[in-house]
């Protein structure tokens, strides 16, 4: 459905169905959207969010959603001499410290499938 209002064109799209390929002509650049973008694989259909969980080991053992930032943990631990972490409240400071605790404790089992598993050669 296309409506014109004062010389501007707005396009309202229906939700994609199987096999649809939508192309939006915008003023500055074209965007091509396919139904692959909107579908969710079955293995990601039921994702547990770690609401109220603040320890890295509990998030990993319960198979909760975790955004992999372990490459930064490796970089901070191996390349930096002094680090000052100033982050606002509710920004993951406790989770970061818990991740450092698991890393320095040598808990390799918690880091399976994460970036730090490939970076770290000597698990102590």
Looking from the CA of 103 toward its CB, the CA atoms found within 13 Å total 23
Buried b / exposed e along 70-90 (16+ C-beta atoms within 10 A): beebbeeeeeeeeeeeeeeee
**Residue 83: predicted pLDDT:** 86
Q: Of the segments 32-36, 43-47, 95-99, which one has the largest average pLDDT value?
A: 95-99
Per-residue pLDDT tens for 37-89?
Answer: 444 445 556 778 888 898 999 999 998 999 999 999 999 999 988 888 888 88
**Stated pTM of the model:** 0.62
């Amino acid at each position: 459905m296309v409506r014109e209002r004062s010389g501007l064109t707005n396009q309202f799209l229906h939700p994609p169905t199987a096999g649809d390929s939508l192309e939006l002509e915008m003023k500055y650049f074209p965007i091509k959207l396919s139904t692959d973008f909107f579908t969710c694989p079955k293995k990601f259909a039921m994702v547990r969010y770690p609401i109220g969980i603040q320890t890295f080991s509990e998030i990993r053992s319960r198979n909760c959603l975790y955004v992999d930032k372990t490459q930064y943990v490796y970089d901070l631990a191996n390349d930096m001499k002094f680090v000052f972490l100033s982050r606002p409240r509710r920004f993951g400071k406790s989770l970061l410290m818990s991740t450092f605790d698991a890393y320095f404790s040598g808990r390799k089992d918690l880091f399976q499938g994460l970036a730090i598993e490939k970076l770290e050669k000597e698990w102590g």
